[in-house]
């Protein structure tokens, strides 16, 4: 049985990753800012128009020091889009948001003309990645409890157990749930329209593939409590049983 669920044009939510410069300030900040000014004087516009993340990992600073630093950087036209490695107590509504799960990329060094030279971007051949290839699937062998979130942008997620109401599984590839899906499942979030979602028992709050989503209300009651799978055909969100 296959039901077409697309009626109106759905809103698309997509994941994107961008290369940001991560600035790691050192204490005392005044010395470090002086060195930064020196760098900026030698290569004008280094930070202009670039997403910059502040990496404060390992620094013992308080909230006022951090907000003062962000302010001083702002005065130098360095706009901080996020802060990595800060305790939640250091951040507030007036501060840039916390950034998590950053993965290292090649170092960026300023060139004479001021534009950061991004390695590999200017070569024709695809550059060999310095990182080992990540595994393309993970297996979660416990139930995913309410409030928990499994995020795996690199591939498939298999859950042996149920995904509770208020829990979410987010995968770059497909999602397989050997149990009841009562929470949210979002597959193909990195732009993979081929991804699918499978579950033993469908009681989901929300399912999404490549940004197309359906809530429990849109899903209707035909397959409620039944084994089900979801996939995309073009712009059409499909659901079917596989019993």
CA-to-CA dists, residue 188 to 28, 97, 115, 167, 222, angstroms: 44, 25, 34, 18, 25
Does residue 44 interact with another protein by CB under 8 A? no
123 token code pair: 């070569």
Taking 3-state DSSP, the helix, strand and coil percentages for the chain, each rounded to the nearest 5, stand at: 15, 30, 55
Report the Cα 139 to chain-centroid distance in Å: 19
64 token code pair: 């006022």
* Interface stretch with another protein, choices 126-134, 160-168, 169-177, 209-217 (CB under 8 A): 160-168
At its nearest, how many Å lie between another protein and the CB of residue 164? 5
At its nearest, how many Å lie between another protein and the CB of residue 150? 11
At its nearest, how many Å lie between another protein and the CB of residue 128? 36
At its nearest, how many Å lie between another protein and the CB of residue 207? 19
157 vs 167, beta carbon nearer another protein: 167
Does residue 145 interact with another protein by CB under 8 A? yes
Does residue 182 interact with another protein by CB under 8 A? yes
Does residue 96 interact with another protein by CB under 8 A? no
Does residue 166 interact with another protein by CB under 8 A? yes
In the stretch 193-222, what mask flags binding to another protein with x, by CB under 8 A? Answer: ------------------------------
CA-to-CA dists, residue 143 to 32, 92, 115, 135, 160, angstroms: 47, 33, 49, 22, 7
- Give the side-chain half-sphere CA count within 13 A for 58: 5
Does residue 147 interact with another protein by CB under 8 A? yes
Rama region for 221: left / alpha / beta (φ>0; ψ in -120 to 50; rest): alpha
CB atoms within 10 A of CB 177: 26
At its nearest, how many Å lie between another protein and the CB of residue 147? 4
Does residue 142 interact with another protein by CB under 8 A? yes
Burial class (CB in 10 A: 0-12, 13-18, 19+), 227: middle
* Interface stretch with another protein, choices 83-91, 108-116, 119-127, 157-165 (CB under 8 A): 157-165
Handedness of CA 12, 231, 133, 137 (dihedral sign): positive
Does residue 162 interact with another protein by CB under 8 A? yes
Contact residues for another protein, defined by CB under 8 A: 142-143, 145-148, 161-162, 164-167, 180, 182
């Amino acid at each position: 049985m296959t039901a077409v669920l697309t009626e109106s044009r759905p809103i698309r939510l997509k994941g994107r990753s961008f290369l940001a410069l991560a600035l790691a300030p050192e204490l005392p900040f005044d010395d470090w800012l002086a060195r930064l000014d020196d760098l900026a004087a030698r290569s004008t516009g280094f930070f202009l128009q670039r997403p910059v993340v502040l990496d404060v990992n390992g620094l013992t600073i308080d909230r006022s020091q951090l907000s003062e630093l962000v302010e001083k950087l702002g005065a130098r036209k360095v706009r901080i889009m996020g802060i990595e490695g800060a305790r939640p107590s250091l951040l507030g509504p007036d501060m840039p948001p916390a950034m998590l799960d950053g993965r290292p990329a090649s170092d960026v060094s300023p060139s004479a003309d001021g534009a950061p030279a991004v390695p590999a971007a200017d070569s024709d051949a695809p550059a060999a990645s310095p990182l080992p290839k990540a595994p393309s699937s993970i297996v979660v062998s416990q139930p995913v409890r309410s409030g928990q979130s499994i995020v795996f942008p690199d591939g498939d997620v298999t859950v042996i157990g149920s995904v509770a109401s208020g829990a979410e599984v987010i995968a770059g590839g497909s999602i397989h749930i050997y149990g009841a899906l009562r929470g949210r499942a979002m597959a193909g979030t990195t732009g993979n329209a081929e991804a699918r979602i499978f579950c033993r028992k469908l009681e989901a709050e929300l399912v999404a593939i490549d940004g197309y989503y359906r809530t429990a209300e849109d899903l209707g009651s035909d397959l409620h409590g039944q084994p089900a799978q979801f996939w995309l055909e073009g712009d059409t969100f499909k659901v079917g049983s596989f019993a």
